[in-house]
Structure 1
Amino acid sequence: MADLQDRVRRPRLDVAPETPGWERRYPRQLAIVDGSAAIVAAALGFWVRFGAIPHHAVAYVVGSAFFPAIWVLVLMMARAYESRYLFVGNEEYRRVLNAGIFLTAATAFVSYVFSIELARGYVVVVFPVVTVATLLARYFLRRHLVSQRERGRCMRRVIVVGDGPAVSELHQLLARHRYHGMQVIGVCVPPKRAGRDSLAGIDVVGTFDTIVAAVADHRADTVAILPSPELTSAMLRRLLWSLENTGTDVIVAGALLDVAGPRTSLRPIDGLPMLHLDHAELTGSRWVVKRLFDVFFASLLLLFAMPLLAALAVAIRHGSPGPAFFRQTRVGKDGETFTILKLRTMYADAERRLDELAPHNEHDGLLFKIRHDPRVTPLGRWLRRFSVDELPQLFNVVAGQMSLVGPRPPLPSEVAAYPDDLMRRLVVKPGVTGLWQVSGRADLSWEDSMRLDLRYVENWSLTLDLVVLLRTITAVIRSAGAY
């Protein structure tokens, strides 16, 4: 009987990796900022609707006191505290939006069914404010986490299981984008390569037969498994059994790049999980909503920006000879060209001086960028630093040539040199801002900037647009890569 029990018991590591302290604290910090956002929203709603505390508003005082707990509970129901949705990606923000929509719908349903009279002024303020405040609070909390990861803190220790170029590619990707929070500490290779000390610059810490021991010896908390013909489904199943009591995360890195979760789903066929990929949604009702969103907010921004644009136009004309606005031909959706509008930031002879400055190009790929470009006017440096020169592109958005969020609008000369894969960027409208602009702009390599643009095309959503617009604010304040 004892032998049978030993065989049934799940194997355990001698030294199980502990969940890092920062990862245990993070959900608690989220609950605090979420509750704080609810307090601010409830107080603002009460002040807007009632001002003071009238005797007939006692129920709203009690409701406001309990609202932070209710909001945190709704977020828990939306699974907005699960670690797999935190730290990176947009799924966390989508779940916050879902929680706000659910709370609004549930309140409307309950008030209708039970004939409860609610002060509409209170509800109209509280629910949108708590949703937006929570999104902003979570965004800034994540930015703090990203800054810690840039210093090498708050990282997960990863052992990669695989062989060949895929190991090097994953290692380089995680090293280049530290915000993912994964630090590769070793690799487990097929038994046929057991004698090697390193692979792609990574220490070999074991083989496919000793993954569990390598996790224990190096106190790894994540195992990343790459496709390999030597790693069978039976071996993977036994590995999962061995690690399931340890808290070690197991992730399977497929060969498909830049395809987001909403486009993937598991479809079991005779017990075998098959990954189904939906085609990218490039037409339909969501794009109609995007167009309406673009027109409304671009028109609103132009309304407020017109006095500033007029003042800057006068200052540009006074600072150097030439027109206030710069016009240039760019390539838009489906390869159609259009004239982009910007505030002029260079001297009038900038285009003629391009050839003489070409040897000083500091950017790889097809872009031409010089950090201290002598063609840029003193006022133009300030306009570029805070991206104010981009404001006239709102006219292009209203005209339907551009979108608020999208890939960077390329020059015809760039498009002429595109390989076939990059032509994919042209199936959507270019954007005033986008993943490229909020991720470092000119500081990024050509390869990274193109990869980000393609990622946007493949994974576009309204939530992603909102996140990019919020990140644009902080990117403008930081002025990273703006020159």
Structure 2
Amino acid sequence: MGLGDSVKQMSYKRQINHIGTIAQQRIRTDKLTIQIHRATLIAQYLGFILTFYILMTVRVLPTYENVNRFNPIVWAKEIPVFNDYALFLGILLILHAFTLVQNQLFSGKAESSILEEYMFDFRSIVFSFLITIGITFLLKTTFLYSRVTLVLFIIMMLIESLLWLATRRIIMRHLNKKGRIRSHVLIVGAGRVGLEVFNKVIQVNPVKKEFIGYLDDHKLGKDIVGKISELESILQQKRVDIIYITIPSEKHIIESMLHTIYKYDVDIRIIPEMFDRMNTVFAFRNDLEYPCLQIVKTPLRGLNVFLKRLSDIGGSLFLLLILSPLFLLLAILIKVESQGAVFFKQQRVGKNGLPFQMIKFRSMKNDADLNKSLLVKDNDMTGPVFKLRNDPRVTRVGRFIRKYSLDELPQLWNVLKGQMSLIGPRPPLPEEVEKYTDYHWRRMDVLPGMTGLWQVSGRSDLDFEQWIDLDIYYIERWSISLEMKIIFKTIPAVIKGSGAY
């Protein structure tokens, strides 16, 4: 063996040792994270079992005399319904565990907010509970359970789930601050996209991410740690956990980089070339073995559409029932003040451009539409929308019901008919839609709603483009948690009456 071969072999050995060291560092970090998740999950399930035990001692055992409440082992012999309760608990916990595993396997998000994570756990617990009820119904054991006990148990599960989630977050944040599980990030490309990745991924959460620097062939600066050709040298000198590649058009360079990075235990994330052209959702597909990015107009599809429609029917029926006395009172006030019909019907444009008749309480004088052309020059809104802050056509009762959005209540009938939803973009007039651009038409991809992001974010105080941006944000980022946010913000917005005229 020559001297050159000996030097080359020593170099290979050093490289192998270094690659192995990096892998060990990642394994230790990942192992610690996994251990924390497993420990909190086990503690959570033990908490569920303890809660079940306490509820049994409080709610079930008092009906049985001379039973040792501190020895649940003998309960199976001395309490006839114990086995049925234990079966219910077992099925519920197995279903809940299964849904958690499914989320880990199929979730496309590497990180979620605490609200997103809790909303998933919330749905998982509720769905598991309902499915368990269905299974035990088929097994003919449902009628043996105390309804109060089961309801208390599900409530306690939801509370404990939130507490354990917060505990895990606190532990992870503490370890991140100490640098124990912090991810080390390298960005390839210091152009506009690279800078945006730094601002949106690293700078907003420096506790979780430690920035190593940029690799760039054309720029210099304190954050530029080398050229792209020096990638392997950087990987051998510094610990790198995540690499963001922001030069997708340089195909030959990326291919060379990938061959280099594959040897190391590093997460590789390539920013798609069209990420900034379409602010929407993508889904990965394989069409005839070709990998594709499918543009998803909205997450509101499939089962989500069914669940939303179910909530719309239930919500509109409930509100129509409890608000019927208010409907009668408003109808009397409108009729007493001015001549004309109580309800005002107006053609609006709904999902996919389909027209429908929207119903409102009449808030204007009977001949309001005839005078609209005289007031167009005083429009207080930008874009194709017409609104006047001090519209002379509005009656005194109309001004009050508009301020507190009471004139919108009859639209519950539109919701019940499936023409509208409780939450969604406001339905536009046909003459407004005629002036829409292609971008504005995005707001027609879902059913229009009685309330939405626009209403809870300033209402008529926002200009038209801000209004459109909020509607499209809702469409492209729809989730149950976003629906809940809008619902909780709608009530104070309506009570304050700000921005409405």
Query: TM-score band (shorter)?
Result: 0.5 to 0.7
- Equivalent residue, structure 1, for 2:245: 225
Question: Which of 1, 7, 21 is the equivalent residue of 2:15?
Answer: 7
1:177-326 matches, within 5 Å, as: 188=214, 190-191=216-217, 193-195=218-220, 197=221, 207-209=227-229, 223-230=243-250, 231-236=253-258, 238-239=260-261, 241-242=263-264, 244=266, 250-254=268-272, 255-256=274-275, 257-260=278-281, 263-265=283-285, 269=289, 274-277=291-294, 291=309, 294-312=312-330
User: Where in structure 1 are there 5+ consecutive unaligned residues?
Assistant: 146-152
Report the secondary structure of 1:84's partner residue.
Answer: coil
Question: Which of 456, 474, 480 is the equivalent residue of 2:488?
Answer: 474
- Equivalent residue, structure 2, for 1:408: 426
User: Where in structure 2 are there 5+ consecutive unaligned residues?
Assistant: 1-8, 65-78, 170-176
Q: Amino acid of the residue matched to residue 8 of structure 1?
A: I
Deviation at 1:420, TM superposition (A): 2.3
Q: Amino acid of the residue matched to residue 101 of structure 2?
A: M
Contact 1:158 1:185 in 2 (8 A): yes
1:393 and 2:404 correspond = no
Distance 1:379 1:216 in 2: 75
Q: Amino acid of the residue matched to residue 277 of structure 1?
A: Q
- Cα displacement string for residues 247-273 of structure 1 (whole angstroms, at most 9, x for unaligned residues): xx6543322545546x4346794xxx8
Deviation at 1:105, TM superposition (A): 4.7
- Cα displacement string for residues 57-115 of structure 1 (whole angstroms, at most 9, x for unaligned residues): 55577779989976874554344698826318968745754565456557866897xx6
Q: Amino acid of the residue matched to residue 393 of structure 1?
A: Q
Report the secondary structure of 2:485's partner residue.
Answer: helix
Distance 1:211 1:481 in 2: 58
1:146-161 matches, within 5 Å, as: 160-161=187-188
Contact 2:453 2:471 in 1 (8 A): yes
1:329-408 matches, within 5 Å, as: 329-342=347-360, 355-356=377-378, 358=380, 361=381, 373-374=389-390, 389-408=407-426
Distance 2:497 2:183 in 1: 28
Q: For residues 167 and 63 of structure 1, do their structure 2 counterparts lie closer, same or farther at Cα, with a shift above 3 Å needed? A: same
Deviation at 1:207, TM superposition (A): 4.6
Q: For residues 260 and 320 of structure 1, do their structure 2 counterparts lie closer, same or farther at Cα, with a shift above 3 Å needed? A: same
Q: For residues 77 and 399 of structure 1, do their structure 2 counterparts lie closer, same or farther at Cα, with a shift above 3 Å needed? A: closer
Distance 2:468 2:362 in 1: 26
Q: Amino acid of the residue matched to residue 16 of structure 2?
A: V
- TM-score, normalised to structure 1, is 0.61
Q: Amino acid of the residue matched to residue 416 of structure 1?
A: E
Contact 1:294 1:403 in 2 (8 A): yes
- Equivalent residue, structure 2, for 1:150: none
Moved more, 376-385 or 425-434: 376-385
Distance 1:398 1:67 in 2: 36
- Cα displacement string for residues 304-355 of structure 1 (whole angstroms, at most 9, x for unaligned residues): 2222333455667889999876655422133233343345778998966664
Q: For residues 288 and 477 of structure 1, do their structure 2 counterparts lie closer, same or farther at Cα, with a shift above 3 Å needed? A: closer
Distance 2:238 2:364 in 1: 55
Contact 1:329 1:339 in 2 (8 A): yes
Contact 1:161 1:189 in 2 (8 A): yes
Distance 1:215 1:118 in 2: 60
Report the secondary structure of 1:232's partner residue.
Answer: helix
Distance 2:340 2:301 in 1: 41
Q: Amino acid of the residue matched to residue 294 of structure 2?
A: L
- Cα displacement string for residues 154-190 of structure 1 (whole angstroms, at most 9, x for unaligned residues): x9997654465545666787799x7999999797364
Deviation at 1:235, TM superposition (A): 1.0
Distance 1:65 1:286 in 2: 28
Q: Amino acid of the residue matched to residue 284 of structure 2?
A: T
Contact 1:159 1:215 in 2 (8 A): no
Report the secondary structure of 1:229's partner residue.
Answer: coil
CA RMSD after TM alignment: 6.3
Q: Amino acid of the residue matched to residue 6 of structure 1?
A: R
Deviation at 1:128, TM superposition (A): 11
Distance 1:308 1:34 in 2: 47
Q: For residues 217 and 277 of structure 1, do their structure 2 counterparts lie closer, same or farther at Cα, with a shift above 3 Å needed? A: same
Q: Amino acid of the residue matched to residue 219 of structure 2?
A: A
Q: For residues 324 and 133 of structure 1, do their structure 2 counterparts lie closer, same or farther at Cα, with a shift above 3 Å needed? A: farther
- Equivalent residue, structure 1, for 2:154: 130
- Cα displacement string for residues 117-151 of structure 1 (whole angstroms, at most 9, x for unaligned residues): 45465589848983997499769x89xx9xxxxxx
- Cα displacement string for residues 377-406 of structure 1 (whole angstroms, at most 9, x for unaligned residues): 999898778765543221111233212343
* Higher Cα radius of gyration: 2
Q: For residues 214 and 357 of structure 1, do their structure 2 counterparts lie closer, same or farther at Cα, with a shift above 3 Å needed? A: farther
Which gives a bigger RCO, structure 1 or 2 (Cα 8 Å, sep 6+)?
1
Q: For residues 289 and 208 of structure 1, do their structure 2 counterparts lie closer, same or farther at Cα, with a shift above 3 Å needed? A: same
Report the secondary structure of 2:110's partner residue.
Answer: helix
Report the secondary structure of 2:249's partner residue.
Answer: coil
Q: Amino acid of the residue matched to residue 229 of structure 1?
A: S
1:100-115 matches, within 5 Å, as: 100-101=126-127, 105=131
Q: Amino acid of the residue matched to residue 77 of structure 1?
A: V
Distance 2:41 2:115 in 1: 16
Q: Amino acid of the residue matched to residue 471 of structure 1?
A: K
- Equivalent residue, structure 2, for 1:77: 101
Deviation at 1:232, TM superposition (A): 0.8
Q: For residues 447 and 236 of structure 1, do their structure 2 counterparts lie closer, same or farther at Cα, with a shift above 3 Å needed? A: farther
- TM-score, normalised to structure 2, is 0.59
Contact 1:425 1:457 in 2 (8 A): yes
Identity of aligned residues (%): 24
